[in-house]
Amino acid sequence: MRATGQSETVLPFSVAAADLIIGASCAGCGRPAITLCASCAGMLTPQPRVAWPRPTPQILCQPSLIEPIASGIHEGPLRAVLAQFKEEGQFGLVRVLGHFLASSVCFAAPADRPVVLVPIPSTRVTRMRRGQDTIGDLSRAAAKAVRSIGIDCTVGSPLIHARRVADQSGLSAHDRSLNMSGALRMRSVAGLGGRSIIVVDDILTTGATVAEAVRVLTESGLRPASIAVIAATARHR
């Protein structure tokens, strides 16, 4: 599956005019463009792969392995696009990012079995600040793309926050784990029966957030099949 996006190569005058009139710029590099420039759009091609966090949360290994799948690295244009979508409200990027997530889902999905995506729930504060349910919106876009190639894919919302959590930015792996421990609970199991469960998030860093979702689902007798994210944090040696 190849990422798509608008570029300035089709109607260069329109892009230049947009830049002059409304200051339109590429979400990936900041150059004049509507949504994405041709260069960034060309680089945003999903490449799904297994992306284990290090150290790996034990809940992802026992009683069965739950592989995390990422379609990109959280750096360069993809990192910038994610930031523009989440923090600046560039909703036009949902199709590109949904395509990345759909690629991870397709890589992770068991063959010949219907799938249900379980997004990490946004907190009430985050929804109010961003004006959107970020992971929910991306999950629905991904599910639509997955269905278009013939895979039975739905989105469920069984998880809710049980308590407040701190901003994860800047926290160590240990502190993220403590921050997320006991943070989620089950709201409903509706729509999950008979389907392979794939936990969905946008970025995989330490794995603390998805591990908490896996814990809650596992304790409810609904062990997920896999995890799908848009991007994983770069691991530099």
* pLDDT computed for residue 236 by the predictor: 54
Q: What is the pLDDT of residue 3?
A: 42
Q: Find the farthest-apart pair of alpha carbons in the chain and give their distance in angstroms, rounded.
A: 58
Q: Round to whole Å and give the CA distance between 47 and 78.
A: 12
pLDDT of residue 31: 75
The average confidence (pLDDT) of the chain is 85
Measured from the Cβ of residue 181, the count of other Cβ atoms closer than 10 Å reads 13
Domains and CATH numbers, the chain: 1-45 (no CATH), 46-232 (3.40.50)
What share of the chain has pLDDT > 70, as a percent?
86
Written as tens digits, the pLDDT of the chain (237 aa) is 444 444 333 334 444 444 444 557 777 787 777 778 887 777 789 999 999 999 999 999 999 999 999 999 999 999 999 998 887 777 888 999 999 999 999 999 988 899 999 999 987 766 666 656 889 999 999 999 999 999 999 999 999 998 888 878 788 888 999 989 889 999 989 889 899 999 999 999 999 999 999 999 999 999 999 999 999 998 754
CA distance 69 to 214: 14
Return the number of other C-beta atoms located less than 10 Å from residue 9's C-beta.
Answer: 12
Specify the DSSP class assigned to residue 226.
Answer: E
Chain segment 68-100, per-residue pLDDT in tens: 999 999 999 999 999 988 877 778 889 999 999
pLDDT, position 126? 66
